[in-house]
Amino acid sequence: MIGIGIVKGLVQTAKNLIGTYTDKERLVTIEYPEERQPLTEATRQFPFLVYDGDDPMKGLRCTACQICEKECPPKCIYIVKSKDKRVDYKGQNQFYPAIYDIDYSVCMSCQICVEVCPFESIKMDTAFELSTADRFGGLLVNKHQLAKSNTHYHQIHPTEAAASDEAMNLERAKAAAKAKADVEAKAKAAAAKAAATPTASPEASPELPKPAAALPKMPM
């Protein structure tokens, strides 16, 4: 029948209208900001830098490789690499960011920086109440503001953070196995070299022939 869809829609609207007065479950709006809906694990807003341990700066996983800076479509990441190096989570010497800034006013929350990072260093945060009257300075965040703990990462994205920890543990195990194999190979090579070198003893080394005396010069 023509118009049946419209009638059904109106009935549903009427049910919802009346239902909101009688059934709390049917209320689709909340009194924000006094009330807040819990954020889902899939929520993504702006990037942050993950650190391990208690010291946000010493524990930063970022190695300043600058891949995220190159890949960010609107170019809102700015990194300056350190001059010195420090030991990373795999026990390898790495650079760290002397400067790491993101301009949130330009960031489009595409998450490409997260996807290209090889060190599990940059992740998407769920914080969204960032409005400020300072259009430029207020949304230009530095590494101190960007640094958030792995605990925070586990709170906002538990499944993803657990997978990230697992990937890092795997990398650590691989690095440890490689370091062990290198040490063993070096020890083996040193032992083989020592075995191949003859021991100096009078019996074992027959007397070498004396070099011939220099011939007298022929008169011209």
Q: Determine, following the binding rule CB under 6 A, whether residue 50 of this chain makes contact with ligand SF4.
A: no
Q: Please report how close the Cβ of residue 189 comes to ligand SF4 at its closest, in angstroms.
A: 34
Residue 63 near ligand SF4 by CB under 6 A: yes
According to CB under 6 A, which one of 43, 45, 90, 112 is a site residue for ligand SF4?
Answer: 112
Distance separating alpha carbons of residues 74 and 76, to the nearest angstrom: 6
Q: Is 156 in the site for ligand SF4 (CB under 6 A)?
A: no
Tell which one of 20, 110, 145, 149 touches ligand SF4 (CB under 6 A).
110
Q: Which stretch binds ligand SF4 (CB under 6 A): 60-68, 183-191, 194-202, 206-214?
A: 60-68
Task: Give me the least distance between CB of 72 and ligand SF4, in Å please.
Answer: 3
SS (H, E, C) the chain: CCCHHHHHHHHHHHHHHHHHHHCHHHCCCCCCCCCCCCCCCCCCCCEEEEECCCCCCCCECCCCCCHHHHHCCCCCEEEEECCCCEECCCCCEECCEEEEEEECCCCCCCCHHHHHCCCCCEEECCCCCCCCCCCCHHHEECHHHHEEEHHHHHHHCHHHHHHHHHHHHHHHHHHHHHHHHHHHHHHHHHHHHHHHCCCCCCCCCCCCCCCCCCCCCCCC
**122, 141, 146, 156: which one contacts ligand SF4 (CB under 6 A)?**
122
Nearer to ligand SF4, 110 or 168 (CB): 110
Nearest distance, CB of residue 102 and ligand SF4, angstroms: 5
Contact residue for ligand SF4 among 51, 52, 79, 95 (CB under 6 A): 79
Binding site for ligand SF4 (CB under 6 A): 47, 62-68, 72-74, 76-77, 79, 102, 107-113, 116-117, 119, 121-122
